[in-house]
Structure 1
């Protein structure tokens, strides 16, 4: 009887935890296969740099296999998080941590097959270290004799578009290793991304304990096992991981009642990438609304102003003597794979004069109107008393980031959605977390369309048609999912 009872318990356990284990094993198989097929130690020195499409010789089977893996991973996550039969509870949390850690460590050894930005981080800071070339002012092509300059590809003609703190962080691995050992410099950049992922996971978990303790398991899984986060942060080594870690630190400090220190964390995020600058006014408004006395609001504003001026001084120090060379100021000089690019191509097809500049003006005007709308909403929605659950601030930040990615950015990059994944973990409304989960899926699958599939149908997919298909898939499907969830919640 004891044997039969044990068999029943084991059968129930397998039936309950089978999907969780299947996703864990399947995820590690996928990430391990990528790291085995495209190892960083073997490929980092290839000049010119290569990507997934080139490494697989543009085989359709490779692209379809990648799409299938995305469908299974994102579909499995969605089932585990939101199915009524999901086994997720507090007992799963250590295993979620373990799975995320194993996935991330595996991806440290993956060559950045979907974007070469990490290699460019290394080359720019190498030139800074060896030749004193300010990465914000001096373009890499000024050093054609450097043995690694070929890794920049076509980007050797532009300066850094990032912020000072990131360039300093990216310099450290090169400073710790000898210049001849560029591979160790690249590996050090991977370790920075791994550390940022681990820090973000820790902060997400701490925030969930405070804000959503009853839903901690599935929300932690939402972030920790998200393929977009893992592949773009650790696999490709994007510095967005560091920026988001500081954003999460800012929210955690708010939960701890340290709203002035939260501005310091946001300043650090801005010193990695300039994107969080757009979030700063909303954080200031949150702090103002938390204070009832005008003298306290004034004192708080002075502190925030001091932090902002200090941040501006750091930028001025690194961008001197010619800030106009900073690439971040010229990102809108070209457009691609974005709603803005689609509008430009449509304007050109209709022979509208100055279609490029007119489309950009319209999109920026709509962005500013949307931003103003978010700010007005925040004036009403932010609490007028001390609040330890900054959910409305998170919603406002999410709205601004969506506007930035969809309207302000002229060039689409799939890793932009990783900014939203971390914050959507804390969102109260299903429209946010289900819409963002869908967007992460369409971002990765859309990238396969752009890089592996579109060129096969050049005769049928001229730029306008390709953008109509790609933009509708990447942006339209998540918008529909979010809108549907919003309507279902109201019903």
Structure 2
């Protein structure tokens, strides 16, 4: 698996640095569609979440249960049930996702297949939905990037094509959209729709802002953690004329949209139970917090302490809390700078930069329970910045601009290769000399170690500047 990932990385980097001047837009979309179809027909998954999507949709359409309050334990005889990992919690995703998957399940039911065959057919429908969302996001990245380049007065066809190609052909994004069908792909589509409606700006700005707000509400009602990006939009509105009227009006639209979406599933507040059973609220995985907590537990056992619990050890709880505290501090500083400093979000481009950094901080610190598909939103936002900020990078020394261009694709592959740690050998064998520390526990360090590339280049750049001085 690691060898395959390295080969993909080589050809991916070769493509995004050599093809942009040789291809056109039609080739970009056609090739992405073909790659997506290959993924749709791949008969494996690396995550069981897709079966959760299937069973929650079946709960609503076939069994007439509320998937936001009922658990799969209510339907243990369903054909999808044996494939589930999470059987004792309601859907962790909001009404936007439930409505989309229920519509697909309704279409599957129209086909007349038996229940057992419906599971496979539903998976194909979900994968086609993921492919459509990815292609839609590619179109939005292409369109928004062109609009932003025109507003800046720095039009570069090569930069635009390179950024769009890097996003469209990103194997991690294709894999998560068309194989595992993680709904972060659909969430990114709504976020890009919100940015697109803001960037194109119709003559009636109130309509533009209302459309952006509704798209953000749909994204929030799909996966609630996207609410972290919403303040970026309101901080942008803060810099516009008649800001109090705009802020109050758009906040009302946002809350009303969420209320409309959640009300049919509310069931007397039972929906809030999910907050107490979601593992992301107390567990660490694939993060620096997990690596440190596992290492501390192993070293403590080495010096004679009792063997720590696999789940819920004191080290895990403390580092989970510390990670969240560091994130909240960083996020609060980011909001303060956007509100009171010269870095105010006066333009859509500044808002996109703020959102990109905010989501990256969330991935690094704000979610000690981390999985590769959480970064899908980051790659979509970064693709827009790559179209408008590449000229700024070129003004930097070569090493720094090269690291920014290469480190993000390498980051994508560190996330894709994370699945290698879940194969049998690294997951079942221990590192010699560290009792109880599996090779798989290096996954958090592997994922985020790629950050050393741009940080190292910046350190070399500053050292060189000091030597010249």
TM-score w.r.t. length of structure 2: 0.81
Q: SS at 1:426's partner residue?
A: helix
C-alpha displacement of 1:69: 2.5
Preserved CA contact (<8 Å) 2:51 2:80: no
CA distance in 1, matches of 2:323, 2:210: 33
C-alpha displacement of 1:267: 1.1
Pairing 1:118-129 to 2, within 5 Å after superposition: 118-129=50-61
CA distance in 1, matches of 2:338, 2:274: 32
Q: Which residue number corresponds to residue 134 of structure 2?
A: 197
Instruction: Give 2:48's match in structure 1, choosing from 96, 102, 116.
Output: 116
Say whether 1:226 aligns with 2:170.
Answer: yes
Preserved CA contact (<8 Å) 2:284 2:290: yes
Q: Which residue number corresponds to residue 446 of structure 1?
A: 418
Distance 1:151 1:457, change over 3 A: closer
Q: SS at 2:87's partner residue?
A: helix
Preserved CA contact (<8 Å) 2:285 2:444: no
Tell me the alpha carbon deviations over residues 341-363 of structure 1, each in whole angstroms, 9 at most, x when there is no partner: 22333444446983333222211
Pairing 1:23-34 to 2, within 5 Å after superposition: none
Distance 1:311 1:485, change over 3 A: farther
C-alpha displacement of 1:421: 1.2
Say whether 1:470 aligns with 2:402.
Answer: no
Pairing 1:43-122 to 2, within 5 Å after superposition: 66-82=1-17, 86-89=18-21, 91-122=23-54
The runs of 5 or more residues in structure 2 that have no matched partner are: 150-154, 202-207, 394-400
Preserved CA contact (<8 Å) 1:278 1:400: yes
RMSD: 2.6
C-alpha displacement of 1:384: 6.9
Instruction: Give 2:262's match in structure 1, choosing from 280, 301, 315.
Output: 315
Matched pairs, number: 414
Tell me the alpha carbon deviations over residues 6-43 of structure 1, each in whole angstroms, 9 at most, x when there is no partner: xxxxxxxxxxxxxxxxxxxxxxxxxxxxxxxxxxxxxx
Q: Which residue number corresponds to residue 319 of structure 2?
A: 359
The more displaced of 468-477 and 227-236 is 468-477
Q: Which residue number corresponds to residue 403 of structure 1?
A: 361
Report which structure shows greater RCO (CA 8 Å, sep ≥6): 2
C-alpha displacement of 1:247: 0.9
C-alpha displacement of 1:467: 6.0
Say whether 1:134 aligns with 2:66.
Answer: yes
Tell me the alpha carbon deviations over residues 432-467 of structure 1, each in whole angstroms, 9 at most, x when there is no partner: 654332211111112212334413533637664636
Distance 1:489 1:209, change over 3 A: farther
CA distance in 2, matches of 1:254, 1:297: 16
Preserved CA contact (<8 Å) 2:421 2:440: no
Q: Which residue number corresponds to residue 371 of structure 1?
A: 331
CA distance in 2, matches of 1:173, 1:90: 38
CA distance in 2, matches of 1:416, 1:316: 27
CA distance in 1, matches of 2:384, 2:86: 36
Q: Which residue number corresponds to residue 275 of structure 1?
A: 225
Instruction: Give 2:293's match in structure 1, choosing from 322, 344, 365.
Output: 344
Instruction: Give 1:177's match in structure 2, choosing from 105, 108, 130.
Output: 108
CA distance in 1, matches of 2:284, 2:192: 30
C-alpha displacement of 1:260: 3.6
Q: Which residue number corresponds to residue 256 of structure 1?
A: 200
Distance 1:127 1:209, change over 3 A: same
Q: Which residue number corresponds to residue 282 of structure 2?
A: 333
CA distance in 2, matches of 1:208, 1:453: 44
Q: Which residue number corresponds to residue 243 of structure 2?
A: 297
Distance 1:90 1:297, change over 3 A: farther
C-alpha displacement of 1:107: 1.3
Distance 1:76 1:459, change over 3 A: closer
Q: Which residue number corresponds to residue 31 of structure 1?
A: none
